[in-house]
Each structure stands twice: as structure tokens, then as C-alpha cells.
Amino acid sequence: PYIHALELTALLKPDAQRALVFGIGAGLLPAALEKRYCIVTDTVDIDPAIIQTAKDFFNFSPQGDVFMEDGRVVLEKSRRRYGIVVIDAFSADAPPYHLFTTEAFSAARRVLDPGGILAINLVSLVTSPGDEAWLSVYKTLRKSFPEVRAYMSGPPHEGLANILFFCSDKSLPLKNAAALARPLIAKDLTYLTTHELLPSQKNILDALSLSDDRAPLEFLMA
């Protein structure tokens, strides 16, 4: 469901010409963006075995470039501009902390076109106590993007859920965009858009802002 929900980026940014996806997995999202929405998609993964497995077993053959490199390095070095950037990267049980700092999100905004979309998948507890991880990511994103929205992409399991963040320098009419979804993913987008997470002002004040100097994301998730 969360992969289906990430297609919302293409519906929110229908004029996107190119996308950048961190974390290849089976290559499902890059394939959907290219085949369903004609968006050339560059992909990034640090693990060569993941890239080869996606090619050998899941027909991963994108039109865009495939970077076997650390995602933060790609963000900092990129001279391309993208309509869509998606961070769906995990190392063992936690995402790479250096992709979730103020500096990383600022770098992501630099490579986005005006009105571009940054989307992030984070598996986190959604009930207090334990929700500090997603709240810290939310607070950190708001330093770089005036529009930040957070949603559950499916029902929680033992308190854990895939939380999707959608960020931009412009307002995001998610429900309007979801209404344009193809039938296969419409149910998942309906769930997403009706399960927005709205932190209180106290939540925001108490949350930790993540930076390159201090980003204990693994600790918060543990």
C-alpha cells in the first residue's frame, strides 16, 4: 500500500519530467513512475546486491540513471533538478540518519524544481510514548519546507505504521490529486488521505530537531 500511496507524488506534480528515488528495493516505484506517468526516474542504492537482485528477479530496467552510492553524496553532488524526490531507504531496522537531517532536507530542496515534491517513507510508532521518531522528522522537515503533511499509508501493526511525508514549497491538495488515481491504487490513496497525522503545538515543541551534529534517529526509533 505505501508504494501505491507514493504514486501520489506523480498526481501532485503532473508536469514532473524527472524523479529521484533513494532505496531501490524491487524497483516497483521507479517502474510505476516511468511506465504509468512517463517520468524518467533516477535511482540510488548503496548496496550492489539490491540493485542486481532487482534486475535479475523484478525486471528492474529504468530509463533513468542508477547510482550505486551513498544517498547523501548523490544529493550533495547532483546538478540535476527533479520534480519529485522520494526517500525510501533503510539500513537494517532504521533509515540512514544522515538522510534525515536539516542539512539533508535542505539539499533535497535544492535539487527540486519549483513546486517539486519531496516524499519520505518512515516506519515508526504512531502512539505515545514512542512516536518521537516521526515527530522529530516532521519538525526537521518544517525547517526546509513550508508545506509538510504526514499520513499513515495503512493500519498500524503493534503500534507501527508506514508514515509518508509529503513536502513542497507550495500547498499540496492531496485529496484532489488522489481523486485522479487509477483504480488499482485508489483504495490505498483513500486510506492515506483520510489518515493524516496532525501534531499538536506541544508535540512540535517537545520534538528533537535533527541535524548533522545531532541526529539520534536510531535511538528514537528503538
Does residue 94 have a pLDDT over 90?
no
| Burial group, residue 216, by CB count within 10 angstroms (0-12, 13-18, 19+) | middle
Does residue 93 have a pLDDT over 80?
no
The three cell numbers locating residue 40: 524518467
- Determine the pLDDT at residue 222: 82
Model pLDDT for residues 14-52, shown as the tens digit of each residue: 999 999 999 999 999 999 999 999 999 999 999 999 999
CA dihedral 201, 170, 214, 97 (to 10 degrees): 120
Return phi, psi of residue 27, to 5°. 80, 20
Does residue 68 have a pLDDT over 80?
yes
Give the model's confidence band at 221: pLDDT under 50 very low, under 70 low, under 90 confident, else very high.
Answer: confident
Q: How far is CA 90 from the centre of its chain?
A: 11
CB atoms within 10 A of CB 161: 23
Least confident of 87-101, 109-123, 175-189, 194-208: 87-101
Q: How far apart are CA 41 and CA 108, in angstroms?
A: 15
Model pLDDT for residues 105-140, shown as the tens digit of each residue: 999 999 999 999 999 999 998 988 778 999 999 999
| Burial group, residue 94, by CB count within 10 angstroms (0-12, 13-18, 19+) | middle
Q: How far apart are CA 66 and CA 122, in angstroms?
A: 23
- Determine the pLDDT at residue 90: 84
Least confident of 55-59, 156-160, 193-197, 206-210: 156-160
Share of the chain above pLDDT 70, in %: 100
What pTM does this model have?
0.95
Q: How far apart are CA 82 and CA 113, in angstroms?
A: 6
Q: How far apart are CA 57 and CA 65, in angstroms?
A: 19
